[in-house]
């Protein structure tokens, strides 16, 4: 049954994605806000399919971040980017430059105002990322980054990259960590029924030294993520 529902959801995902990508092509020549609206609508439709077809609901805990902050989130699946983009107010997502070359998807994420980074670009790429992030903060928008740089399976050892500390130091704004347990339910093609939890944690104030910031960030995200995973795996009382 799980495979059947996963296949039905895949068809829904493909239909929604292809339809909106074609219908909204003219938006690429219009103001950015139209593309942002389309992207949020796409996420909402995908999540409707997740709930109705695949049996996956989601819950947001904690205080949703204000605008103009750095949000650093755990990354387990494609769900994370969609959920955070839908939950936050028009964030600029830090992503791999290679993603911007994907037809349709890359066009839209570029138009929406994402921050593309060349991982092989070294210090120069980090400077460009910081400059772009400063411009986003100046607009009153938030910056969303996945500090491990790639998706991690639930329970995998953490691997936080120093780029997030450099961004935190350059921006001079608070950092809001976010934990989640999506990797238990969105596992590639297979979608397992349940409730995904996204939790915003206590903000880290600006001004900390890089090492202390990284320690606090990893401790908060990993502790909360472990708790959310354990909670999801806990058997429910039949009564």
Return the residue matching tokens 């120069």: 124
- Residue 61: strand pairing partners: 199
pLDDT, one tens digit per residue, over 91-142 is 999 998 888 999 999 999 999 999 998 877 677 878 888 999 999 999 999 9
Q: What is the 3-state secondary structure of 38-57? A: HHHHHHHHHHHHHHHHHCEE
Instruction: Give me the CATH topology for the region 56-233.
Output: Rossmann fold (3.40.50)
Tokens of 55: 């049996």
Does residue 239 register a pLDDT over 80?
no
State the Cα–Cα distance between residues 31 and 87, nearest whole angstrom: 22
pLDDT, one tens digit per residue, over 35-62 is 999 999 999 999 999 999 999 999 999 9
- Residue 71: strand pairing partners: 144, 176
**Residues 121-142 as b or e (16 or more Cβ within 10 Å = b):** eeeebbeebbebbbebbeeebb
- Tell me, what's the pLDDT at 236? 67
């Amino acid at each position: 049954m799980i495979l059947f529902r996963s296949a039905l959801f895949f068809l829904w995902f493909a239909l929604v994605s292809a339809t909106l990508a074609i219908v909204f092509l003219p938006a690429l020549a219009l103001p950015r806000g139209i593309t942002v609206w389309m992207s949020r609508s796409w996420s909402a439709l995908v999540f409707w399919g997740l709930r109705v077809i695949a049996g996956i609901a989601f819950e947001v805990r904690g205080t949703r971040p204000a605008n103009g902050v750095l949000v650093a989130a755990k990354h387990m699946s494609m769900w994370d980017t969609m959920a955070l983009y839908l939950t936050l107010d028009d964030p600029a997502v830090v992503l791999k430059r290679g993603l911007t070359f994907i037809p349709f998807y890359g066009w839209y994420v570029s138009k929406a105002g994402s921050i593309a980074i060349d991982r092989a670009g070294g210090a120069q790429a980090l400077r460009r990322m910081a400059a772009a992030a400063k411009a986003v903060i100046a607009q009153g928008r938030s910056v969303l980054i996945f500090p491990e740089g790639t998706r991690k399976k639930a329970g995998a050892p953490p691997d936080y990259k120093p780029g997030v500390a450099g961004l935190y130091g350059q921006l001079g704004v608070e950092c809001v960590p976010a934990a989640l347990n999506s990797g238990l339910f969105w596992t590639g093609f297979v979608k397992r029924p349940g409730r995904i939890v996204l939790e915003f944690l206590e903000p880290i104030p600006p001004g900390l030294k890089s090492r202390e910031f990284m320690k606090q960030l990893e401790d908060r995200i990993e502790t909360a993520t472990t708790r959310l995973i354990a909670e999801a795996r806990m058997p429910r009382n039949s009564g």
